[in-house]
Amino acid sequence: MLCRTIAVVCLAVLLLNKANGQESKLRVPILIDTDIGGAIDDAFALGLALSSPEVELLGVTTVGEAAEDRAWMVCRLLTHAGRTDVPVAFGRGEQPKGPIDWQIQYRRHPAVVWSRTNKPAAAPAAELLYEQLKARPGEVTIVALGPLTNVAQLLRDHADAPSLVKQIVVMGGSLAVGYDGKPPAVPEWNIKQDVAAARAVFVAKIPLIVVPLDATAGLRLPAAQRSQLFAAGRPLATQVANLIELCEQPDQSLFDAVAVAASFDPQWDTLAERQLSIADDGRTLVDPAGTSVRAMTGLRREEFLAWSLGRLVSHGEQAWPASPGNLSQVVDRGRFPSRVYVVEDYDSDIEKRWWLCGKLESADVPSGSRRACRAVLTQDFDDRQGDRRVSYRAVIFNPVPGPPMGPNTRLAFRYKLHGTDRLRVQLFSLSNGYHRYLSLANLKPDEWQSAAVDMTQMRCPDGTGGPLSADERIDDIQFYIDPRAELLIDDVVLYDAAAADEKRGFPQRILFTGWFDTGKQGQEWPGDFEIAAHEKPRTWKFARSVAGPNGEHRLRVDLRGPRRLAAVTELAFDYRITGGDRLRIELADRRSGQPLTKDIEGLARDAWSKATARWELPPDAKDAFATEIRLIPPAGTTLELDNLLLYEPANQ
Ligand SMILES: [Ca+2]
Ligand SMILES: [Ca+2]
C-alpha cells in the first residue's frame, strides 16, 4: 500500500515537473475570453486557470462594453501574478452593453496608467484567438466566460477557424433551471446579451461543452471562504480579492470558474449529450433539431469550492509589507489655513472619478459626516517602494489639477483604524516625479479620530529628495496600512498652515476651494471668468470677471456640483476691484429657488485685499445646496478673485 502511495506521489511529482518545464503537451492549452469587470466570477476563474498546473494559458481576450478597459484589468492581474508572458487583446466592433462597475478603479492604478504592466496587443481579440489557434491546430480549447461576440467574430472572419479549434467551453445557458436553481429555465446573461453570436457559435460544428445554470446555480463564495482569499497574502489571491472587494454586485456566484475547470479537469465531468437551439429571447431550448453539445448536468458544489479556492489561496509566495519608516508625529491642525488646496469629504460624487483607491462607506462614518472612504487592497502607487508583490490597503485621492504648495503644507484628515496602530501618509510630487512619505505609530484604533501631519516632514523612501517645498505641484494623496488591517478615511484637507496672527479657528467643514493656479477655465475651473497670471510678488494665477450679455462685468464660479450648505456658511476670498467699492455675492443652486445674496460695501479699491461674506439659513431650513457663486460688481467695475474658500466656520 505504502509503495503504491509512494509510486503515485512520484508519478504526480514527475507530471508536475514536466508540466512546469518544456513538456507543454502534458498541459491543456486554453484561451480565455472574458467579460471581467462585472460579476466576481471572471476574476476568480482567471485565478483558477493561473493557479492550475494542468493549464497552459495561451491568451486572454475581453468582451463587452469598454472591452479595452477590461483588457487593461487583465493585464494588471497577469502582471502582478507574474504572468506577463500571457498575451491579452480586446474585442472590437459592437460589443454587448453592460458597464464596468467600481472595479474600474483596478484599471486606474498607476501601474496600468504608467505602463508598468504588460499591454493589450494591437490586434483585436478575434485575431489573437486566431493566431493562437493556427499555431496549435486542433489542440486548443476556447473557454468563453462572457457573451460570444468575439468568438462569433473569429468564426465570421476566418472560415478555417472551426477546423483549428479543439473545442469551445461555453459558460452559459439554462436547460431546466434558472439562477435560483429551480425551474423554469430562463434566458441566461451570456447568451441573451448576444443571441446572434451564440447562434453562430452553436451552428459552427465545433465540439461544444455547455456549462449552464443547471450545473452552476448556487455555487457561491461565502464570506468565510472569501476571507481566505484576503488572508492569503499571495499576489494572485490578492489581485482576485481586490477585484472582489471592488465589485458592486452583492451576488457572489462563481459560474465562470466551473467552465474553466470543465476545460481541463475530468473530475468535474458530468457531461451529457443534449440537442440545443437558441430562442430569440436567449433561452437555450432542448430541441431534437438543435445542435448536439455536451452539457454539464450537475456539480458537487462544496467540493468544487474547496478545490478551486484551495488552489487560488496557495498559489505563489506570501509577501507582507515591512513596517513603515520615517516616523512622524500628529500635529495640531492649527487655526484658519492660509490657503486650502484640496478638500474631499466623500459626501458627494462630484470628485468620484478621482477616488483612485477606496470604496464608499456610508454605515461607519464620523459625527457630522454622511459618507467616508474605506481602504481597499492595492500595490504601492510608488513603483520604487519596496517589493512589487506586496499589497497594502489604502485610500487614495487624486487632487486634480495638481495644486502648487505653499511653504508649510499640512494634511488634516479623520481616520478609523482596526487591526493596526500604524498609518503611512504619502504624496506624489508632480514637479519632481517622485513620492515622499511619513508614517504615524501608536494611533488609537477602533474609534474615529482627527489628525493632522506636517507634510514637510515627508521624505523619499531612500531618504533623498529633501522636504516638500513652496511652489512644488503635488498629486495623489495616499494613506496606506497593512493589508490585514482596516482603515476608514474622511474629511481630507490639504492646506498651508495658518498665519502667525490668525484669530479664526479651523473651519468645521470646507465646502469648496478655488485657487485657479493650475488647470484650465471651463475644464477644472468651470464658470464665467478668465484665468490670468498674478504680477509679482504674488505668484501663480487668479480669476478675472468677464463682460456679460449687457456689457457689465460679472464673475461666476461653478462649484462642479451641488455643495450642501451649513446652517452658517462663510465665503472667504482675495479680491481686487477696479472702479468701485461694492460687491453683490449670490450663493445659488441652479436647480431650484432663490439665491442667498449678500451685499458687501466699503471694499478696498485697486489693491489685492481679503474679505468674508456670511450667510445663515433659516432655523427651519431643510438641506440647502449651492452649485455656483456669482460675484457681481457694480456697473462699470471689474473684479479679480483668488483663493476662494466656502466653509462652515469653527464653533465660536
Ligand atoms: Ca463572465
Ligand atoms: Ca491663485
Cα of 172 vs centre of ligand 1, distance in Å, is 9
Ligand index nearest the alpha carbon of residue 518 = 2
Domain locations in the chain as residue ranges: 15-314, 339-498, 512-648
Judged by average pLDDT, the poorest of 13-22, 324-333, 414-423 is 13-22
Q: Which residues contact 25 (CB under 8 A, 6 or more apart)?
A: none
Q: Is 530 helix (H, G, I), strand (E, B) or coil?
A: strand
Cα of 42 vs centre of ligand 1, distance in Å, is 5
Ligand index nearest the alpha carbon of residue 643 = 2
Question: pLDDT at position 21, please?
Answer: 44
Identical fold, 339-498 and 512-648 = yes
Q: Is 195 helix (H, G, I), strand (E, B) or coil?
A: helix
Q: Which residues contact 88 (CB under 8 A, 6 or more apart)?
A: 59, 60, 61, 62, 71, 74, 75, 78, 118, 119, 120, 121, 128
In this structure, what are the phi and psi dihedrals at residue 72, rounded to the nearest 5 degrees?
-65, -35
In the 8-state DSSP scheme, what is residue 461?
A: T
CATH number for the domain running over 512-648: 2.60.120.260
Cα of 541 vs centre of ligand 2, distance in Å, is 4
Angle formed by the axes of helices 301-314 and 235-246, nearest 10° = 120
Cα of 403 vs centre of ligand 2, distance in Å, is 9
Average pLDDT over residues 199-222: 97
User: Could you tell me how many residues make up the chain?
Assistant: 652
Question: Using CA atoms, how far apart are residues 277 and 291, in angstroms rounded to an integer?
Answer: 6
Question: pLDDT at position 17, please?
Answer: 46
- The closest of 32, 34, 31 to 42, measured between CA atoms, is 34
Grade residue 327 by pLDDT with cuts at 50, 70 and 90: very high
Question: pLDDT at position 497, please?
Answer: 98
Ligand index nearest the alpha carbon of residue 404 = 2
Question: Using CA atoms, how far apart are residues 77 and 69, in angstroms rounded to an integer?
Answer: 13
In this structure, what are the phi and psi dihedrals at residue 224, rounded to the nearest 5 degrees?
-65, -45
The amino acid sitting at 448 is W
Return the H-helix or E-strand segment holding 20: helix 2-20
Cross-strand pairs, 376: 394
Question: Which CATH fold would you assign to the domain 339-498?
Answer: Jelly Rolls (2.60.120)
Question: pLDDT at position 311, please?
Answer: 98
Query: Exposure of 424 by Cβ count < 10 A (0-12 exposed, 13-18 middle, 19+ buried)?
Result: buried
Cα of 36 vs centre of ligand 1, distance in Å, is 6
Tell me the pLDDT tens digit for each residue of 156-192. Answer: 999 999 999 999 999 999 999 999 999 999 999 999 9
Question: pLDDT at position 5, please?
Answer: 52
Question: Using CA atoms, how far apart are residues 280 and 550, in angstroms rounded to an integer?
Answer: 60
Grade residue 7 by pLDDT with cuts at 50, 70 and 90: low
Question: Using CA atoms, how far apart are residues 62 and 457, in angstroms rounded to an integer?
Answer: 45
Grade residue 211 by pLDDT with cuts at 50, 70 and 90: very high
Question: Using CA atoms, how far apart are residues 44 and 448, in angstroms rounded to an integer?
Answer: 34
Tell me the pLDDT tens digit for each residue of 114-167. Answer: 989 999 999 999 999 999 999 999 999 999 999 999 999 999 999 999 999 999
- The closest of 424, 382, 426, 432 to 404, measured between CA atoms, is 432
Cα of 145 vs centre of ligand 1, distance in Å, is 4
Cα of 447 vs centre of ligand 1, distance in Å, is 39
Cα of 559 vs centre of ligand 2, distance in Å, is 16
Q: What b/e string do you get for 13-52 counting C-beta neighbours within 10 Å, with b at 16 or more?
A: eeeeeebeeeeeebbbbbbbbbbbbbbbbbbbbbbbbbbb
Ligand index nearest the alpha carbon of residue 642 = 2
Res. 6: pLDDT tops 90: no
Q: Is 55 helix (H, G, I), strand (E, B) or coil?
A: strand
pTM value? 0.94
Tell me the pLDDT tens digit for each residue of 494-545. Answer: 999 999 999 999 999 999 999 999 999 999 999 999 999 999 999 999 999 9
Ligand index nearest the alpha carbon of residue 541 = 2
Tell me the pLDDT tens digit for each residue of 84-98. Answer: 999 999 999 999 999
At the second CATH level, the architecture of 15-314 is Alpha-Beta Complex (3.90)
Cα of 195 vs centre of ligand 2, distance in Å, is 56
